[in-house]
Each structure stands twice: as structure tokens, then as C-alpha cells.
Structure 1
Amino acid sequence: MKKNNKATIIAAFGCLGKTTLATKFPNQILDLESTYYEYIYNEDIRDVEKIKGAANRIHNTNFPQNYIDAITNNLHKYKFIFIVLSKEVLSCLEKLGIEYTILYPSKEKACEVILDAKKRGNNNLYIDRLKEILKDDSDYLIFKKKFKPIDLYLVPPKKYIEHYINEKYKNALVIQKIQKKADFYGGFKYHGVNYKVDFYSLTNKEIPKLPWSQVYVIGNYNNMVPIVKYNSSRENLPGGGLKLNENIIQAARREIIEELNMSIEDWSPIGYQRVYDDLGNECYQLRIYGLLKKLGEFKKDTGGTVVGYELVDIANLNSRIGYGEIGDYMVKRVKRFYGKES
């Protein structure tokens, strides 16, 4: 019997726009990068595209089961889940009765795939592997003859996964409207500049489409909240700015790895704030709750200046980070996840 999936699972060949589209709709699309599951985490894995195909990677013996677990755990949390086009993974999905779609580049699309791989920074080993696979239709025929997707679509030139979804699932992806009235108003002074803050609460997993600059996480590790420490003795929630081609949730996941050596197993939005000054400068920052899993001991923050972290009780969080009224509100929103009364 087929399972009633809430999410539509799409197993797509590389360079077909999975990450690009997931960046536009982080609350509706989960792009499950298999590298984090198939190989043992290390500091080099932060630049995923550059290490694809590298010979020195250490295989994770828990793969593909850990990847399948990530898929099944998120089936009812997203509209679409993008996964790796792996024969091993698809075999597991079929055994579980989980439906999926395959997207494969057409013969005419093959040259574009190679060019896109070069543009996004993949190494020569990975690019040579793509060339070998796409030189004929033998790989495609394996998926066509040995697997049973609900749809097997050959992507034409100049088209990507976004075009397929727009045609097959019209109006499936919706941009949430921006809330006009803030829930809280505040301000602070930083480096001699007075900033104003408008805070907007979010009550479901829909994230507005905004020019996000930063994201910070109230994490839950064994019912305690990690706060990060800096050389300056300053304390804060873990988080930071977005990198090129990241969406806001991808940035949160990366920051949690870099600053805590933990992973985000599940998350939900708390709210966001617009920070601006009298000169017209502004930025948007997201705040989320995250259920965390420890990957290993923290050694160093390769992406910033964090020197360590401390686990604190949720009741004491705002007294440590000093977020004022907004901090009190955020703590109230997430207390129930720590076994505390809200």
C-alpha cells in the first residue's frame, strides 16, 4: 500500500536547480543535500560543492538509512522534498512504499548541466563523473527500466526543476504576505548609531519572502539552550549572516554546525525583526526554534569568532542575552518545548 505523503518527493539529477528553488521557498521546500548524510562530517564539508567527487571523503556507514530517516521525518512538514538521484536511496523508498518523481536531463540538456557544475564550483573529479554519466543514455535507462517513479521527466534545455513544478503543480508554491503591523517596537545603540526594531511574530512554518540578512536560533539540546561565547565575553544566540546562494534555513543549519557542532533536526519560526536607522539602512533577521542533535565536540568556529558555548535553562536565557521585551516574548513562545509552562 502506498503511503499518503504530504510532501511530493523529487529525485533530481545534479545541476537542475534544486538549491536555487529551495532558496526561494525555504518553508515549503526541503532540499536534502545527501553529502551531509553520506559522508562523515568534517570542517571541509562546509563548502559542499567543492568537495563533491573528492576521493578523500570518509563514507558514513549509516547511509542510506540516515538519509531515508531524514526523508520520512519530514514527509508531513513540507510541500516538496528534493533528494539525491541515487539508486540506493530509491530502492529504499520503494521498499517503504513511498512515491517519488525522477527528473533527469535530456540529451540536449547535458552540456548545460556540465557548464552549470563548473559555474557553481564543483571540482574536476565531479565534473568528469558527470561527463561520463551523460555521454550516453545507459544511466538513464537504468532508472527507466528498474525503478517505478510516479513520473520520469526529461528536463529540456533552458529548463530547471522550477519549470517542472510550475507546470505539473500549478500554484503549489505561495509567497506569504508580509505582516504590516509589528507586535513589538524597540531599539538599541550600536557603535554610536541608534537603531529601531520592529518585531513580527510568526505562528506557523510559513516564512515571508524578505531580503534576509541574518538568522538566530533558540536551540534545544537535552532541554537546555546553547548560547555562544566570543572573545569579548559577549554572549548571544548561535546564528549569523547568509552566504551566497543560501536560503535562510540553510544558513541556520550551517551556523549551528559551525558554532556548536550540532545539527538542526527540526525547526519552527518564532518571528522576525526589521532593524533600521534614520538614514534608510535596514535589514531583516529571522528568529527560529531548533531541536538540536550533537555531532561532536566543538573545536573552533571556522566561519566566525565564537570560542565556545554554554547550556542554560530556558528560564534564564533572556537575562544572559539581553533581548528585552522581544526576548521575553520569544522565551514564552518556546518554553513548552523544554518541559516548561508557557
Structure 2
Amino acid sequence: MLFVGSSVLAQDPIANNLREQFMQLSSFEQLQDPSPEKFDAAAARAVSFFDSQQNSEEFNETTAEIWSGFFELTFARDDDENFSRRLEVLQAEGQRQHAAIPPEAIDHEQKPFTVHVREALEVNRARRQYYERISNGATRKVSLLYTSLEYSLLPLTSFFDRWAHKYRRAGIPVLRDDFVPMANISSADKPLLRRGMLDRAGRRELRKMLRAWQWKSGLAASRKDFLKVQLLALNAVHDLRQMELRHNCNLALTIHFVESVGLAARNADRLSQQYAKRTDNFYRAFIAIQISGVRLFSKVDLQAQPFHRAGIGIIVNDLPAIPFP
């Protein structure tokens, strides 16, 4: 075992609180028959995820399976009746955490995932006023959608950070090279190279492409075939860039997510070789949360495109370049 005699999140209040809220999101079938035998499958998946935070000694195969399944349910299953409600629960908790903890109180070394999301939130909140001013308030919905989705990640980043800290204490540099600082993003008023929009057929093509990529990449990640994940990300970035050129549009956030998956897979492969596969299960889950969110976050790109037509660089100018490939 990697962490003998350790307890990661024993009686963690955040996990317990979220567990209770997710338990209340019953399906219609369960409301009709609330007997234990009819326990809602989605609720069971959520309960398993939050229970995995308690007194766990090792990030093993079962943990990776549970976490990956929960992320797929929460961020990719938009056909589920409680999809929006689950996001709202996470968003509310993320907002609470963000307001309760000042930026200076967060250790960048201890919480790299949380710091990255919070830095992105701060950039978007700071630039929101500029974009709203030059659009007469029209960009407000884009900013709100983006920040809402970022808030929904915050309750989960802390779980990754705590596990990553345990790896680093064991001398394994998990999550050290997986995030790019926000300091080097473009200025908000940088002129755009492309100002077009995806038409209805283009949007269908994008959804189809991302669904296929999510399925293939999720399967490769579940097998811990990190080289395959990298190749799939490389191909997806190429296809998305070609789509941008054909439609003269921007898909910056979608590409950002796919590149981030590729970078994580590259780091996962390197650490797997250096540390005898001891990081494989952790990186399977870390890659899974990003894969699961790609299609959801791509909606931000689509909502931003009408403003790109007006020359407003929202989203495009707000993302750092990721060193992948």
C-alpha cells in the first residue's frame, strides 16, 4: 500500500454535506417507491463517491472507478433528470467555499487544482465588467455560465488536492506540472483573428465529435492507457482546429480542455514509468473529470461566438496556452 496508516478525509464535513444533498435528488421512480430495494442508481453512485472520501488508505482501482463514474454522471449525463440540480448543488458549495476562504489563505503548493480554478474565477470576474461595458451588458450570461461551471468544480478540486498532497509527501510529484498559470493570458482587448459562428449543422458536428471523443478517451483512461489518451487528444485538437478554420470561429475553451487532458495523460504516462504505476489510478480519475466536462464547457464557447462576431474576445483572450502537444 502507498499510504500505510493514513486517513485522507475522515469525517470530512464538505463530503458529508454534499452526500446528504445528493441523496435528496431522487428520481421520479424512487419517489413513487422509496423502498430500499428501489434505491436510485444515480444517488447510489454519488453516495459511493462521497463515502470513498472517508478513511480511505489508498487510491486504488475501486476508488478510481467510483470517482470516474461520479464525474461522468455529474458533468456528462445531461440526459439525466437531476443533471442540472446536481450542478446547482456543487455550484452553491463552490461559491460558499470561494467566499469563505480568501486567496492569500490558500497554499499553491498544497492545493494546485483549487488554486488553478480560483485563479480562473478571479480572471473571469475581473474581466466580466470590461466585457459587459463594451457589450452593453449582453455578455453577462456568458460570464455567469462560465463562472457557474467553474464554481461547480471547486468542491471536487479539494478532494484531488488532498490526495495529491499525500503522494507528494511520499516523494511523488503528482499535479506538479498539470496546470498552467493564468498570468500569461492575452489582454482582454486583443483583436480576434476569427469572428464567425458555428451554424446548426456545425453545432451538431461538434456535439457528435465530442461525444465520440469522450467515449473513446474515457475507455482509454479506464484502461490506464495514457498514451492512447494523448493520441486521442492530439487528433481531437487537430479536428477542432480544422472546424475553427472551416467556420472561421473560435472553440477556445473546448480546445483548452482537450489539451489539458492531453497534458495530464502525458504527465500520467511519465509518472507511471517513474513510479511503477503507483499514480495510475489517481491520474485515471484526474483525467476522467476533465473528459467528462468537455462537452458541458463547450457550451460556453457556443454562447460566446455571437460576441466574437462583434469583435469582443471573451473566453478566447481569457485562457493560457497549454504546452500540448
TM bucket (normalised to shorter chain) is under 0.3
Larger helix fraction of residues: 2
| Superposition TM-score, scaled by structure 2 size | 0.24
Higher RCO (CA-CA < 8 Å; seq separation 6+):
2
TM-score of the superposition, structure 1-length normalised? 0.23
